[in-house]
Structure 1
């Protein structure tokens, strides 16, 4: 019988034999997607894709914010404002720099605006920030007190730096970013970034001389 048609979906056969399956292909979760795909989806209005991007970067962004601002509550506020701003502006991201660089730029700008507005003078927190490895050693009470005092002195010294030097120093020394990336984040030339970090290092070395 020529041109006979079989109604219904084709039967699924053993894997590897090229027989199509009636079951739909599984859609990968957003957590399994690469960053470029997530950005494209977010630019198409996928809120969940943007939330996944935020989840991947929020610890590092918060770490920078809390070091620049010196206050965890302020850092949380700055980070939330930055994420809202990033969602509104996601369509402007063109990929000239890494997405993380783009996010660092938004967060540091928010932090800088907050520093200028509030003129905060409190010392930076002395903890190691989110995700810091625990120290299994048990120092003596005397050594623990000495370390605490030194960290408090360093926090005060970093907090006293001009905001441009503090931001550049935090991004370089605490986040390990390169000069070129810091330049993209701050909007300052690479030579200016190097100068800021050099001056910050000199100021911190002078203020911490008593601890050497």
Structure 2
């Protein structure tokens, strides 16, 4: 039994410190994810809070055959979908500390631009699948569970999402070359 599974079992038995540890492990990653799906920072925080409230409330329904993170992200997706305002552009970052500020700023800007392009080009399920696979490093099986699709659908749409982003980046590079070349 992993440390996380032990914490889940302790939380199921009513241990508040165990559930608090689970919250601390996931709150920043979940907030970063929710910022890409919600209309504002406040909406993302609300969805995050709702996610943990629902997780605590329904902890006894968690199936240990799945990773806890998969179950938690599924709850987060549901909360973000319920609370999202379709006309607003989602936010994309939570600041990290340390390192070379200029290099980090440039790298962060490039990552944000890539994820903004992805958000604009891809439908919600494909975008969510790409985020979970490449940012959260989830397995194909776990991503499929979170988005409510098959593993085959997930693999195909991850490939299509990468192709769409590759085409977007290549067309952007060609336009820059023509402008300055």
After TM superposition, is the score higher than 0.5? yes
Structure 2 distance, partners of 1:175, 1:71, is 21
> Could you tell me which residue of structure 2 aligns to residue 15 of structure 1?
none
Structure 2 distance, partners of 1:45, 1:138, is 46
- Structure 2 segments unaligned to the other structure (5+ residues): 175-181
Kindly state the Cα deviation for residue 121 of structure 1 after the two structures are TM-superposed. Answer: 3.8
The structure-2 alpha-carbon separation of the partners of 1:153 and 1:98, relative to structure 1 and needing over 3 Å to count, comes to closer
Kindly state the Cα deviation for residue 63 of structure 1 after the two structures are TM-superposed. Answer: 1.9
Structure 2 distance, partners of 1:200, 1:114, is 25
What secondary structure, in the 3-state scheme, does the structure 1 residue paired with 2:138 have? coil
Structure 1 distance, partners of 2:18, 2:66, is 19
> Could you tell me which residue of structure 2 aligns to residue 122 of structure 1?
89
> Could you tell me which residue of structure 1 aligns to residue 159 of structure 2?
198
Q: TM-score, length-normalised on structure 2?
A: 0.78
Kindly state the Cα deviation for residue 110 of structure 1 after the two structures are TM-superposed. Answer: 1.7
Kindly state the Cα deviation for residue 36 of structure 1 after the two structures are TM-superposed. Answer: 2.5
> Could you tell me which residue of structure 2 aligns to residue 105 of structure 1?
74
Q: How many pairs were matched up?
A: 170
Kindly state the Cα deviation for residue 182 of structure 1 after the two structures are TM-superposed. Answer: 0.6
Q: Give the RMSD, CA atoms, in angstroms.
A: 2.8
> Could you tell me which residue of structure 1 aligns to residue 130 of structure 2?
169
Kindly state the Cα deviation for residue 192 of structure 1 after the two structures are TM-superposed. Answer: 0.8
> Could you tell me which residue of structure 2 aligns to residue 30 of structure 1?
none
Q: TM-score, length-normalised on structure 1?
A: 0.68
Of Structure 1 and Structure 2, the greater helix share is in 2
Kindly state the Cα deviation for residue 183 of structure 1 after the two structures are TM-superposed. Answer: 1.2
Q: Which structure would you say has the larger Rg?
A: 1
Per-residue CA deviation, residues 80-121 of structure 1 (Å, 9 max, x unaligned), is 111111111001113011212211211122223334xx2144
Kindly state the Cα deviation for residue 153 of structure 1 after the two structures are TM-superposed. Answer: 4.1
What secondary structure, in the 3-state scheme, does the structure 2 residue paired with 1:68 have? coil
1:156 aligns with 2:116: yes
The structure-2 alpha-carbon separation of the partners of 1:36 and 1:154, relative to structure 1 and needing over 3 Å to count, comes to closer
What secondary structure, in the 3-state scheme, does the structure 2 residue paired with 1:122 have? coil
Structure 2 distance, partners of 1:208, 1:67, is 20
Choose between structure 1 and 2 for higher RCO, CA contacts under 8 A separated by at least 6 residues. Answer: 2
Kindly state the Cα deviation for residue 155 of structure 1 after the two structures are TM-superposed. Answer: 4.1
